[in-house]
């Protein structure tokens, strides 16, 4: 940790020098304070140097402690390694002896197994020769049966081809007959369509001729109506032209009359805008002049107010200057007189005279103070009078300005209302004149509209006869066209009726042809079905013959196979009996070998357990020595850190006391300045300087406290982590030792089982390699046998093959033996692997218990750490309290300096009171510093004592735990020795029992296999009887099935013939129904045509009647419209005369209303002016009253009453 220099010290020194350089009398104080300031940073450097030296001493001592610890730990570890290597060498030696004995044992086992395998090969060779002979007999019988089956399949294929060829020829003949019949029907259908088309063409030609005649009649009717319409429309157009000319004349006259009226309206609007602008301009000029006057008054008010305030301040400043001069003169006289009297007192030797002179000095000083106080009182009275005069003048000025504001507001409101009334008069005149002009314009518009309406009604009256004539002509044209249309409709209906009759005849002929076509199709389909069914049944018959032959031969194959199986089972039973005897012999050999091997392993395991026990005992004792050494090192390290931390705390409080003494020195220097006495600006400047200094010192205090607090906090956190970590490391090591011992117990068992598995694996791989070599040798022998069969032609070929086969048989016996041995080893390895599963579960259980205990230990660690954190919190609270006390101390100094700075004239009494309060705070701060210093030291000491106590408890607990582990290890070793002895006795008993069980099992197995063989012979005999029965039943079933197929063939032909007769009957019935439907449709068409003729005749009569009725209605409508138009014209003339009279009366009423509203506006203006003046006077009185209250409250606030 480094305390940085205070960079602002140089600036403070320069500021202080500049402040006190005004007068030489301040030089001693400046030098004394400069020495203090310049000693702060060197003090910090000294502290930093001490801290560095303490850190070096601390590091050296820590290195010494750790070096001693490392040397001891290295010696302990070296002793443990020697013990471990010695015991490991003994274990390796015992393993080598065990492995040599196991190798010899395996060699003897291999020789015995080879003898057994030779016997097995000889027996298997004899059994194989018997099986080969039975197999050759079976193959010969199967070859004969296969030849019979091939012949049966060939016969079936030839018969099937002949049947399919005959079916194909019959199908082609049927198709030819069917195609000839279809072609004949199609040719007849084409001739029928040609005849129908020719008849329809003749009917169409007759229809076209009739349509041409009707078209000529239609044109005649249309031309007649068109000529009449043209002549009538010419007359109508002449009348419309006359109407348009008259209408244009009326429009021109209307525009001539309307133009003066519109011009007067435009002029009226223009005059209205001009009048408004003039009125607005007058109002604006009035308001501008009013505002200019008011601005001048306001500027005059502001200038007078500033002048009054400035004059009052100048007078007060003059009085204060006189007072300051008087005070300085008084102070100088006071100082000179006091020096003279003090010099006289120093020259006097009589105490009574000195006392008298002191009283005279005091009386004279009091007189000076009294005169100064009187002068101050007179000056204060003069200042108060000046302030009162200034406030009175300001009040009178405010009253005058308030009246001016009131007058300005009144005129502004009156001008605005006057403008509003002028605008109302202009609007009233404009609206009246505009209304009159609009009335004239509207009257002209209505007159013009009346003339247009009358002209239109007369025009409609002239057009009415022509429109009537045109409507009569249109009705006649409509009547003639309707009659012509009905005649044309009748002609077209007749032609369509004739075409429909021809279509119905065509449908009849087509139905007859379709009947012939359907009958031919039905005959063709039935004959084809009969042919296909007959062919299919013939094929089924041939297939049935083939299948019965094949099934009989398959049964004979089963019979031969069953006989062969019976012979094979007999040979295999004899072989199995001999092999069981050999297997028993081999099992007994393996059992004896295993017993010897287990004994060797047990002895090696006992030696290994002994050496492991010695090693573990040495480890536990080594662990205990290491723990003791760690505890010693930890306490030494902590004691070193505690001493280092205490020295750091001493340095910290030395720094705090140094800064505190610096503050006191500056405070005393300020008091000394006061007593000189000093210039007021120097005294105030010194106070301001000290305030800035205290603010900087406060930041420095905080930085120093924060640095040391951070150091302490780091120390406590590190020690808490070290203490709890070490303590729980010890507990964790203790727990790990326990669970390691538990795991080592399980691991020892696992190692024994894995060693057995490894031994079995070695034997397995050895035999596996031997198996592969034997297999390769067998492959080579087989290749050699094949080459000998193919290539060799010598006389010794038979003898060579015999020898090769013999060697091959021996190798196959070896191969089987090796497979059996390998399977035995695999079973042993599987059994050992199964023994590993409970050990894995036990290891998992130990691991789970360890994790559970570790979590519990971690919780205890956090809980205990919280106890140690109490010391950290106590340390933190002390630093927080120290920070608050420093803040209170600096605040008290600043309050003291503020009080002196804010006081205009500092007196001795005032200074004494403030010093008394400050000294109380400073004494309290000193006591608190001592308390906090002692508190930090006590926290460190109690923290160390707490840790030392915990360490003693921990060390004692670890010793007990280690002793318990050693006892547990000794008991475990004794128990393992007892378990090994018990295991040896148990294994011996198990070997004897197993040997007995193997013999009993072999005997029971032989008996069981013999019983099974007898049962198998009975089953095989029953199978032979069943197969012979199936052969007899197969011949009977073949004859019955061939007879059934012949009967099905005859029944199928009869069924198809019956279906054909039913189909013919159905087709004839459908044809008869269709012919009846067509005949009924023809009758309906004839009836509909007759009904159409009657309907057209009735429509023509209705058309003539309708024309007559419409003609009568048209005549009545013409007369009614003429009367109506004449009546409308007369009513329009009367309405025009009435409207003109009403307009004259309306103009008269509008003039009267305008005169009345003008008088009303004038009376409102007079009333508003009067009321506004009254309201404004009331407002002025209120404002004057408020101004007076404000003036009194200001005078009171300034204490001018």
| pLDDT for the residue 4 | 55
CA dist., res. 1094 & res. 722, Å (int): 130
Going by C-alpha positions, the residue among 256, 251, 266, 270 that lies closest to residue 438 is 266
| pLDDT for the residue 879 | 81
Q: Which of 255-259, 673-677, 1189-1193 has the lowest mean pLDDT?
A: 673-677
CA dist., res. 345 & res. 339, Å (int): 10
Q: Give Cβ neighbours of residue 679 (< 8 Å, ≥ 6 apart).
A: 22, 23
| pLDDT for the residue 760 | 73
Half-sphere exposure of 647 (CA within 13 A, CB side): 17
| pLDDT for the residue 726 | 46
Mean pLDDT of the chain: 78
| pLDDT for the residue 968 | 63
C-alpha distances (whole Å) from 1003 to each of 579, 989, 996, 1000, 1010 are: 13, 22, 11, 5, 11
What tokens were used for 5? 């220099």
Peptide bond into 677 cis (omega under 30): yes
Res 1162 pLDDT > 80: yes
Res 555 pLDDT > 80: no
Q: Give Cβ neighbours of residue 461 (< 8 Å, ≥ 6 apart).
A: 1122, 1125, 1126, 1129
What tokens were used for 256? 């001539």
Total H helices, total E strands in the chain:
7, 0
CA dist., res. 745 & res. 737, Å (int): 12
Task: Provide the percentage of residues in the chain whose pLDDT is more than 90.
Answer: 0
Instruction: Assign 722 a pLDDT band (cuts: 50, 70, 90).
Output: low
Q: What is the mean pLDDT of residues 558-562?
A: 78
| pLDDT for the residue 799 | 61
Residue bearing tokens 């002949």:
162
Q: Which of 228-232, 249-253, 627-631 has the lowest mean pLDDT?
A: 627-631
What tokens were used for 312? 């009052």
CA dist., res. 457 & res. 859, Å (int): 118
Q: Are 1054 and 534 in contact (CB under 8 A)?
A: no
| pLDDT for the residue 1 | 54
C-alpha distances (whole Å) from 323 to each of 317, 319, 330, 536 are: 10, 6, 10, 155
CA dist., res. 367 & res. 938, Å (int): 59
Summarize pLDDT for 900-922 with one digit per residue, the tens.
777 655 667 777 888 888 888 88
What tokens were used for 159? 């018969």
Residue 53 vs residue 8, higher pLDDT? 53
Q: In CATH terms, is domain 706-881 a member of 1.20.140.10? A: no
DSSP 428-474: HHHHHHHHHHHHHHHHHHHHHHHHHHHHHHHHHHHHHHHHHHHHHHH
CA dist., res. 672 & res. 678, Å (int): 9
Q: What is the DSSP letter of 349?
A: -
Instruction: Assign 457 a pLDDT band (cuts: 50, 70, 90).
Output: confident
- Radius of gyration over alpha carbons of the chain, in Å? 73
B/e letters for 357-379, b = 16+ CB within 10 Å, e = fewer, are beeebeeeeeebeeebeeeeeeb
Q: Which of 276-285, 878-887, 934-943 has the lowest mean pLDDT?
A: 934-943
Q: Work out the burial of residue 46: count CB atoms within 10 Å of its CB; fewer than 13 is exposed, 13-18 middle, 19 or more buried.
A: middle
| pLDDT for the residue 800 | 66
What tokens were used for 566? 């019976």
Q: Quote the distance between the C-alpha of residue 479 and its chain's center.
A: 86
Q: What is the 3-state secondary structure (H, E, C) of 929-943?
A: HHHHHHHHHHHHHHH
DSSP H or E stretch at residue 677: none
| pLDDT for the residue 721 | 60
Q: Give Cβ neighbours of residue 823 (< 8 Å, ≥ 6 apart).
A: none
| pLDDT for the residue 865 | 53
Residue bearing tokens 């601390």:
58
C-alpha distances (whole Å) from 586 to each of 222, 817, 996, 998, 1172 are: 137, 10, 14, 11, 145
Q: In degrees, to the nearest 5, what angle opens at C-alpha 301 toward C-alphas 299 and 303? A: 70
| pLDDT for the residue 20 | 75
Query: At 950, phi and psi to the nearest 5?
Result: -60, -40
| pLDDT for the residue 1195 | 74
CA dist., res. 63 & res. 1065, Å (int): 130
CA dist., res. 723 & res. 727, Å (int): 6
Q: Where do the structural domains in the chain lie, given as residue ranges? A: 706-881
CA dist., res. 632 & res. 613, Å (int): 29
Residue 838 vs residue 251, higher pLDDT? 251
Instruction: Assign 741 a pLDDT band (cuts: 50, 70, 90).
Output: low
CA dist., res. 893 & res. 691, Å (int): 8
Res 77 pLDDT > 70: yes
Question: Left if phi > 0, otherwise alpha if psi is -120 to 50, otherwise beta: which for 1150?
Answer: alpha
Furthest C-alpha separation in the chain: 186
Most confidently predicted of 306-315, 747-756, 802-811 = 306-315
Res 734 pLDDT > 60: no
Q: Are 287 and 415 in contact (CB under 8 A)?
A: yes
C-alpha distances (whole Å) from 585 to each of 104, 589, 745, 916 are: 21, 6, 39, 121
Q: Which of 720-724, 756-760, 894-898 has the lowest mean pLDDT?
A: 720-724
CA dist., res. 199 & res. 907, Å (int): 155
| pLDDT for the residue 677 | 65
Q: What is the 3-state secondary structure (H, E, C) of 290-339?
A: HHHHHHHHHHHHHHHHHHHHHHHHHHHHHHHHHHHHHHHHHHHHHHHHHH
CA dist., res. 283 & res. 411, Å (int): 11
Res 689 pLDDT > 60: yes
Instruction: Assign 703 a pLDDT band (cuts: 50, 70, 90).
Output: confident
Question: Cα torsion at 1128, 1133, 1137, 1140 (round to 10°)?
Answer: 80
Res 888 pLDDT > 80: yes
| pLDDT for the residue 1088 | 82
CA dist., res. 605 & res. 611, Å (int): 10
Total residue count of the chain as it appears in this document = 1201
Residue 715: count of CB within 10 angstroms of its CB: 19
Q: Quote the distance between the C-alpha of residue 438 and its chain's center.
A: 76
Question: Cα torsion at 44, 50, 56, 62 (round to 10°)?
Answer: -110
Instruction: Assign 959 a pLDDT band (cuts: 50, 70, 90).
Output: low
Going by C-alpha positions, the residue among 564, 776, 590, 581 that lies closest to residue 123 is 581
Most confidently predicted of 325-339, 619-633, 854-868 = 325-339
| pLDDT for the residue 127 | 79
Q: Which of 53-57, 192-196, 460-464, 864-868 has the lowest mean pLDDT?
A: 864-868
Q: What is the pTM of this model?
A: 0.35
Question: Left if phi > 0, otherwise alpha if psi is -120 to 50, otherwise beta: which for 1199?
Answer: left
Residue 661 vs residue 749, higher pLDDT? 661
Res 789 pLDDT > 70: no
Res 926 pLDDT > 70: yes
| pLDDT for the residue 727 | 47
Instruction: Assign 796 a pLDDT band (cuts: 50, 70, 90).
Output: low
| pLDDT for the residue 798 | 63
Q: Are 906 and 674 in contact (CB under 8 A)?
A: yes
CA dist., res. 873 & res. 876, Å (int): 5
Summarize pLDDT for 1103-1128 with one digit per residue, the tens.
888 878 888 888 888 888 888 888 88
Instruction: Assign 680 a pLDDT band (cuts: 50, 70, 90).
Output: low
Summarize pLDDT for 995-1005 with one digit per residue, the tens.
777 777 777 77
Q: Are 709 and 876 in contact (CB under 8 A)?
A: yes
């Amino acid at each position: 940790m480094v305390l940085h220099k205070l960079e602002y010290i140089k600036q403070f020194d320069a500021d202080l020098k500049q402040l006190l350089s005004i007068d030489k009398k301040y030089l001693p104080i400046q030098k004394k304070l400069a020495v203090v300031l310049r000693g702060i940073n060197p003090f910090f450097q000294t502290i930093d140097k001490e801290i560095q030296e303490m850190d070096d001493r601390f590091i050296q001592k820590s290195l010494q402690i750790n070096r001693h610890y490392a040397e001891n730990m290295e010696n302990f570890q070296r002793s443990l390694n020697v013990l471990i290597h010695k015991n490991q060498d003994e274990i390796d030696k015992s393993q080598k002896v065990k492995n040599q004995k196991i190798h010899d044992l395996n060699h003897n086992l291999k020789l015995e197994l080879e003898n057994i395998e030779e016997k097995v090969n000889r027996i298997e060779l004899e059994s194989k020769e018997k099986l080969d002979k039975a197999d050759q007999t079976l193959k010969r019988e199967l070859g004969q049966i296969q030849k019979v089956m091939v012949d049966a399949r060939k016969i079936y294929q030839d018969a099937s081809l002949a049947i399919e060829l005959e079916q194909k020829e019959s199908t082609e003949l049927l198709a030819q007959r069917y195609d000839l019949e279809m072609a004949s029907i199609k040719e007849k259908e084409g001739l029928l369509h040609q005849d129908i088309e020719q008849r329809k063409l003749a009917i169409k030609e007759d229809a076209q001729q009739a349509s041409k005649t009707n078209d000529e009649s239609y044109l005649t009717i249309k031309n007649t109506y068109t000529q009449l319409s043209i002549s009538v429309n010419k007359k109508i157009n002449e009348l419309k032209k006359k109407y348009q000319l008259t209408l244009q004349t009326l429009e021109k006259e209307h525009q001539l009359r309307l133009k003066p009226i519109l011009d007067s309206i435009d002029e009226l609007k223009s005059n209205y805008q001009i009048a408004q602008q003039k009125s607005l301009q007058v109002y604006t000029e009035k308001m501008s002049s009013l505002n200019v006057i008011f601005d001048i008054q306001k500027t005059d008010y502001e200038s007078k107010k500033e002048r009054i305030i400035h004059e009052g301040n100048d007078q007060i400043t003059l009085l204060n200057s006189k007072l300051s001069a008087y005070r300085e003169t008084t102070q100088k006289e006071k100082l000179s007189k006091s020096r003279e009297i003090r010099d006289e007192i120093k020259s006097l030797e009589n105490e009574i005279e000195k006392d008298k002179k002191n009283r005279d000095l005091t009386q004279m000083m009091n007189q000076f103070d009294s005169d100064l106080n009187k002068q101050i009182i007179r000056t204060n009275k003069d200042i108060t009078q000046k302030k009162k005069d200034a406030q009175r003048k300001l009040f009178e000025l405010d009253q005058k300005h308030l009246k001016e504001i009131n007058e300005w507001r009144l005129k502004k409101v009156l001008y605005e209302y006057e403008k509003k009334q002028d605008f109302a008069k202009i609007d009233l005149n404009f609206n009246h004149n505009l209304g009159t002009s609009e009335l004239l314009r509207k009257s002209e518009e209505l007159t013009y509209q009346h003339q247009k309406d009358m002209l239109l009604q007369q025009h409609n009256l002239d057009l009415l006869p022509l429109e009537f004539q045109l409507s009569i002509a249109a009705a006649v044209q409509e009547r003639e066209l309707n009659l012509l249309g009905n005649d044309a409709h009748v002609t077209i209906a007749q032609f369509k009726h004739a075409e429909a009759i021809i279509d119905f005849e065509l449908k009849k002929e087509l139905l007859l042809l379709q009947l012939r076509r359907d009958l031919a199709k039905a005959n063709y389909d039935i004959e084809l079905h009969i042919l296909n069914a007959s062919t299919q049944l013939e094929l089924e018959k041939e297939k049935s013959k083939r299948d019965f032959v094949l099934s009989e031969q398959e049964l004979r194959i089963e019979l031969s196979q069953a006989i062969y199986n019976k012979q094979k089972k007999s040979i295999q039973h004899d072989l199995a009996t001999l092999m069981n005897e050999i297997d028993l012999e081999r099992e007994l050999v393996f059992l004896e070998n295993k017993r010897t091997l287990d004994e060797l392993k047990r002895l090696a395991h006992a030696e290994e357990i002994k050496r492991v026990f010695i090693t573990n005992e040495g480890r536990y004792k080594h662990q205990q020595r290491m723990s003791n050494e760690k505890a010693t090192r930890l306490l030494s390290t902590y004691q070193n850190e505690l001493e280092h931390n205490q020295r750091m705390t001493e340095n910290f409080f030395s720094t705090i006391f140094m800064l505190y003494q610096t503050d006191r020195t500056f405070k005393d220097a300020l008091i000394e300045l006061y007593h000189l006495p000093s210039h007021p600006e120097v005294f105030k400047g010194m106070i301001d300087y000290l305030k800035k200094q205290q603010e900087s010192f406060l930041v420095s205090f905080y930085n120093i406290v924060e640095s040391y607090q951070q150091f302490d906090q780091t120390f406590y956190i590190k020690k808490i982590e070290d203490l709890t970590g070490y303590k729980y490391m010890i507990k964790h090591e203790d727990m790990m030792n326990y669970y390691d011992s538990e795991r080592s117990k399980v691991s020892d068992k696992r190692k024994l089982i894995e060693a057995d598995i490894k031994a079995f694996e070695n034997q397995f791989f050895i035999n596996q390699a031997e198996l592969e070599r034997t297999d390769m040798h067998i492959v080579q022998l087989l290749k050699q046998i094949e080459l000998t069969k193919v290539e060799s032609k010598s006389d010794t070929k038979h003898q060579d093959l015999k020898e090769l086969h013999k060697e091959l048989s021996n190798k196959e016996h070896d191969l089987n033996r090796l497979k059996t041995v390998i399977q035995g080893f695999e079973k042993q390895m599987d059994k050992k692997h199964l023994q590993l599963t409970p050990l894995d579960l036990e290891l998992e259980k130990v691991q789970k218990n360890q994790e559970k205990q570790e979590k519990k230990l971690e919780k205890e660690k956090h809980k205990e750490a919280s106890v140690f954190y109490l010391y950290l919190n106590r340390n933190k609270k002390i630093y927080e309290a120290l920070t608050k006390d420093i803040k209170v101390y600096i605040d008290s100094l600043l309050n003291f300096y503020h009080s002196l700075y804010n006081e205009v004239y500092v007196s001795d009494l005032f200074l004494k009171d403030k010093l008394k309060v400050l000294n109380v705070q400073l004494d309290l701060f000193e006591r608190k510093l001592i308390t906090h210093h002692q508190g930090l030291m006590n926290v460190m000491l109690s923290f160390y004592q707490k840790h030392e106590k915990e360490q003693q408890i921990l060390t004692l607990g670890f010793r007990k735990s280690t002793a318990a582990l050693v006892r547990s290890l000794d008991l475990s070793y004794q128990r393992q020795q007892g378990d090994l002895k018990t295991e040896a006795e148990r294994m011996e008993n198990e070997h004897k029992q197993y040997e007995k069980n193997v013999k009993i099992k072999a005997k029971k197995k032989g008996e069981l296999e013999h019983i099974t063989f007898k049962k198998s012979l009975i089953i095989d005999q029953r199978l032979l009887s069943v197969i012979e029965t199936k052969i007899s039943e197969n011949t009977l079933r073949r004859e019955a099935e061939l007879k059934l197929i012949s009967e099905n063939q005859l029944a199928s032909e009869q069924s198809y013939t019956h279906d054909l007769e039913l189909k013919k009957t159905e087709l004839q019935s459908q044809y008869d129904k269709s012919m009846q439907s067509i005949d009924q449709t023809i009758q309906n068409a004839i009836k509909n045509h007759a009904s159409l003729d009657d309907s057209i005749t009735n429509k023509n009569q209705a058309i003539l009647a309708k024309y007559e009725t419409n003609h009568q209605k048209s005549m009545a409508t013409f007369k009614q419209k003429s009367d109506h138009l004449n009546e409308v014209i007369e009513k329009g003339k009367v309405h025009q005369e009435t409207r003109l009279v009403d307009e004259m009366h309306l103009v008269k009423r509008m003039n009267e209303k305008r005169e009345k509203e003008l008088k009303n506006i004038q009376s409102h203006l007079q009333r508003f002016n009067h009321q506004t003046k009254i309201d404004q006077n009331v407002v002025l009185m209120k404002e004057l009253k408020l101004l007076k209250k404000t003036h009194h409250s200001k005078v009171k606030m300034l204490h001018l009453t």
